[in-house]
Structure 1
Amino acid sequence: MAGSLGPGSGWTAAVRRLLRQFSSAQRPGSPGFQGLPLLVEGQQVGLVVPAVARELRAFPNVFVEVTGGLELRGGHCPEERTEAVAGVLAQLRAEGRLARLARWRDEAYEVRPSFGAPALLNVERAAAPLLGVLQFGAHLNAFVCRQDDETGSWQIFMWLARRSPHKATYPGLLDNLAAGGISAGLGVKETMVKESWEEARVPPKLAAQAQPVGCLSFTYEEMDGEEFGAVVRECLFIFDLEVPEDFTPQVGDGEAQEFYLWPLNKVREAVNSGSFKPNCALVVVDFLFRHGLLHPDHEPLYPELMAVMHQTL
Structure 2
Amino acid sequence: MLPDNYITVFIDRMSDFIGVVSPQVAHILISENLVENTEKGLILPQRGQALEERLRHITQALYQYGHIGEYRGEAMAVMAHFEGEILAKIDRSALRAMGFLGVKVHINGIITNCEEPKIWLARRAENRRSAPLHLDTMVAGGQPYGKTLLETAIMEAWEEASLTSDQLQGLSEPDTIMAEYISPEGYHREKLVIYNLELPDSFKPACCDGEIIETFCVSKTQLQHLLTGYDRFKYNTELVCRRLLTKI
Q: Same fold (TM over 0.5)?
A: yes
- Out of 281, 300, 304, the residue aligned to residue 238 of structure 2 is 281
Is residue 52 from structure 1 mapped to residue 22 from structure 2 by the alignment?
Answer: no
- C-alpha RMSD of matched pairs (Å): 1.9
Partner of 2:123: 162
Contact 1:103 1:126 in 2 (8 A): yes
Partner of 1:212: 173
Matches within 5 A, 1:105-144: 105-144=72-111
SS at match of 1:140: strand
The whole-number CA distance in structure 1 between the counterparts of 2:88 and 2:206 is 36
Contact 2:107 2:137 in 1 (8 A): yes
Counterparts in 2 of 1:250 and 1:216: CA distance versus 1, 3 Å:
same
Is residue 268 from structure 1 mapped to residue 240 from structure 2 by the alignment?
Answer: no
2:92 maps to a residue whose letter is: R
Greater Cα offset, 162-171 or 191-200: 162-171
Is residue 39 from structure 1 mapped to residue 10 from structure 2 by the alignment?
Answer: yes
Counterparts in 2 of 1:223 and 1:197: CA distance versus 1, 3 Å:
closer
Contact 1:145 1:156 in 2 (8 A): yes
TM superposition score normalised by structure 1 = 0.73
Partner of 2:155: 194
User: What is the total number of aligned residue pairs between the two structures?
Assistant: 245
The whole-number CA distance in structure 1 between the counterparts of 2:37 and 2:85 is 24
The whole-number CA distance in structure 1 between the counterparts of 2:80 and 2:175 is 20
Contact 1:105 1:126 in 2 (8 A): yes
Contact 2:59 2:93 in 1 (8 A): no
Q: Deviation digits for residues 105-137 of structure 1, max 9, x if unmatched?
A: 222211101111111111122211221111111
Superposed displacement of residue 180, structure 1: 0.2
Matches within 5 A, 1:10-89: 27-28=1-2, 33-40=4-11, 41-42=13-14, 43-60=16-33, 62-73=34-45, 76-89=46-59
1:39 maps to a residue whose letter is: F
The whole-number CA distance in structure 1 between the counterparts of 2:71 and 2:117 is 38
Q: Deviation digits for residues 189-235 of structure 1, max 9, x if unmatched?
A: 111111001111011112243113311111112347xxxxx211111
Q: Which runs of 5+ in 2 are unaligned?
A: none
SS at match of 1:102: coil
Partner of 1:19: none
Q: Deviation digits for residues 214-258 of structure 1, max 9, x if unmatched?
A: 11111112347xxxxx21111110001111232222231211122
Counterparts in 2 of 1:115 and 1:66: CA distance versus 1, 3 Å:
same
Identity of aligned residues (%): 25
The whole-number CA distance in structure 1 between the counterparts of 2:168 and 2:48 is 33
SS at match of 1:130: coil
The whole-number CA distance in structure 2 between the counterparts of 1:260 and 1:223 is 27
Contact 1:100 1:127 in 2 (8 A): no
Superposed displacement of residue 53, structure 1: 1.4
Which protein has the bigger helix share? Answer: 1
1:142 maps to a residue whose letter is: G
Partner of 2:61: 91
The whole-number CA distance in structure 1 between the counterparts of 2:223 and 2:214 is 15
The whole-number CA distance in structure 1 between the counterparts of 2:174 and 2:62 is 40
Q: Which of structures 1 and 2 has the bigger CA Rg?
A: 1
Contact 2:107 2:196 in 1 (8 A): yes
Contact 2:28 2:61 in 1 (8 A): no
The whole-number CA distance in structure 2 between the counterparts of 1:209 and 1:158 is 16
Superposed displacement of residue 278, structure 1: 2.2
Q: Which runs of 5+ in 1 are unaligned?
A: 1-26, 148-153, 225-229, 292-313
SS at match of 2:173: strand
Contact 2:168 2:197 in 1 (8 A): yes
- Out of 159, 180, 184, the residue aligned to residue 141 of structure 2 is 180
Contact 2:69 2:129 in 1 (8 A): no
Superposed displacement of residue 186, structure 1: 1.0
Determine which structure has greater relative contact order: mean sequence separation of CA pairs < 8 Å that are 6+ residues apart, divided by chain length.
Answer: 1
Matches within 5 A, 1:240-255: 240-255=196-211
Superposed displacement of residue 103, structure 1: 4.7
